Amino acid sequence: MEHLQDREVAVIEKKANQIRVSIIESLIEAGSGHTAGPLGMADVFATLFFSVMNYDPKNPYTDHRDRLILSNGHICPVLYATMAHAGYFPVKELQTLRKFGSRLQGHPHREFLPGIETSSGPLGSGLSQALGMTLADRIDRPQSSTYFYCMMGDGELNCGQVWEAVMMAGKEQPHNLIAVIDRNGIQIDGFTRDVMPLEPLREKFESFNWHVIDADGHSIQELYGAFGEAQSVSQPAVIIAHTIPGRGVPQFERDYRWHGTPPGKGPEDILTKDKQGECALKQLRSLKGTIVSECE
C-alpha cells in the first residue's frame, strides 16, 4: 500500500469528523447508548472504510468483499455512522438508533441490516467468529483475497474465549485475519489497568505467534500504514490502536463514565446534562480540538 497523499488524509479526517457528529446526533435522539468508544474509534473506521477495505454498499454481500466483524458490539454507533456515510443507507436513518422497529439496534443484528456480518453483544466472541470465517474461507476459496477485520475493545480482553481464539489462530496462521484492538484504557466500571491489567499486551500476542503493530489510533497516515503492514505478513496480525475515549469532545475525553452514557445523561461535574449534547456538537463542528468558549 502506498503512502497517502496529504489531500487524501484530509478527506479521511473530514469523514471521521462527520462520523463523530453523526454519532452524537444519533445518541442525543436515542437518549441511550455508548459515547466514548464510538468517538474514539471514528478515525480507525474512517481509515478502514475510505482507504483500505473492499466492499460495495449497493451489493453488500458480494462474495469478494472484505468482512468486518464487530466484537465489541456496543460501539455500533460508529459502525452505523460510517456505513451511512459510505452509502449503505441514508444518513437520516441514523436518527432511528435504538428505537423500536429500527434496523439500527443497540447491538448489531445481522438479519436487520445488509452489510452487518455478525450479530454481536456478548463480549469476547468476535475473534472466534472471525477466525472461524477465515478458516472456512480457506477451505471454500483457497485463492481468496478477502480480509477479515475483527474490531475489539481492550476491556473484552478479560474474556477467556479471546485467548482461546488467539491461541488457535497462532496455530492455524490465517494470513488474512486482522484484529484491531481499541486500546483506550477504559471499560464500563473503570480503567482497564485497575479492573484487569493487560500489559504486556504486545508480548502476549507475540507469544502466540501473531504479528503485532502498535499505532496511533488518531493518525490516519499511521493507521493506513498499519493496515498495509498487516496485509503484507503471512500470519495473523493485530493492530493495537491507541485511542482517546471520547475523542473530539474534550469534556468527555479519557473519562470512563462516558463509556456507556449518551449526552444528556452523563456526569455533571464538567457540563450539566442540558448542555452536554449541544456542546459536544459545537466542539466537533469547530474542529479546534480545544474547549470552545460556549462550553467553558
pLDDT digits (tens, 9 = 90+) for 258-280: 999 999 999 999 999 999 999 99
Is 89:79 a contact under the CB 8 Å cutoff?
no
Q: Which pLDDT score, from 0 to 100, does residue 295 have?
A: 74
Is the predicted pLDDT of residue 290 greater than 70, yes or no?
Answer: no
Parallel/antiparallel/unpaired status of strands 148-153 and 177-183: parallel
User: Using CA atoms, how far apart are residues 1 and 198, in angstroms rounded to an integer?
Assistant: 31
Q: Which pLDDT score, from 0 to 100, does residue 291 have?
A: 64
Q: Which pLDDT score, from 0 to 100, does residue 287 have?
A: 74
User: Is 272 exposed, middle or buried, given 0-12, 13-18 or 19+ CB atoms closer than 10 A?
Assistant: exposed
Is 36:10 a contact under the CB 8 Å cutoff?
no
Average pLDDT value for residue range 94-121: 96
Is 72:37 a contact under the CB 8 Å cutoff?
yes
pLDDT digits (tens, 9 = 90+) for 13-56: 999 999 999 999 999 999 999 999 999 999 999 999 999 999 99
pLDDT digits (tens, 9 = 90+) for 112-162: 999 999 999 889 999 999 999 999 999 999 999 999 999 999 999 999 999
Average pLDDT value for residue range 69-98: 98
What's the Cα-to-Cα distance from 36 to each of 40, 64, 214, 245, rounded to whole Å? Answer: 6, 33, 21, 5
User: Using CA atoms, how far apart are residues 146 and 101, in angstroms rounded to an integer?
Assistant: 33
Measure CA 56 to chain center. 19
Is 137:117 a contact under the CB 8 Å cutoff?
no
Length of the chain in residues, anyone? 296
Q: Give the other-Cβ count within 10 Å of 160's Cβ.
A: 9
Is 237:178 a contact under the CB 8 Å cutoff?
yes
- 3-state secondary structure (DSSP) of residue 187: strand
Is 161:133 a contact under the CB 8 Å cutoff?
no
Measure CA 59 to chain center. 22
What's the Cα-to-Cα distance from 266 to each of 77, 187, 255, 283, rounded to whole Å? Answer: 17, 15, 11, 16
pTM: 0.96
H or E element in which residue 234 lies = none
Is 260:266 a contact under the CB 8 Å cutoff?
no
Average pLDDT value for residue range 223-227: 98
Q: Which pLDDT score, from 0 to 100, does residue 121 have?
A: 84
Which domains are delineated in the chain? Answer: 6-295 (3.40.50.970)
Residues 6+ apart with CB under 8 A from 229: 211, 213, 237
Q: CA-CA-CA-CA torsion for 161, 108, 79, 98, nearest 10 degrees?
A: -130
Is the predicted pLDDT of residue 293 greater than 90, yes or no?
Answer: no
User: Using CA atoms, how far apart are residues 59 and 65, in angstroms rounded to an integer?
Assistant: 9
First to last CA, the chain: 43
Tell me the percentage of the chain whose pLDDT exceeds 70: 97
Mark residue 216 as left, alpha or beta (left: phi above 0; alpha: psi -120 to 50; beta: remaining). beta
Query: C-alpha cell of 125?
Result: 466472541
Is the predicted pLDDT of residue 192 greater than 90, yes or no?
Answer: yes
Average pLDDT value for residue range 232-243: 98
Confidence of residue 294 (pLDDT cuts 50, 70, 90): low
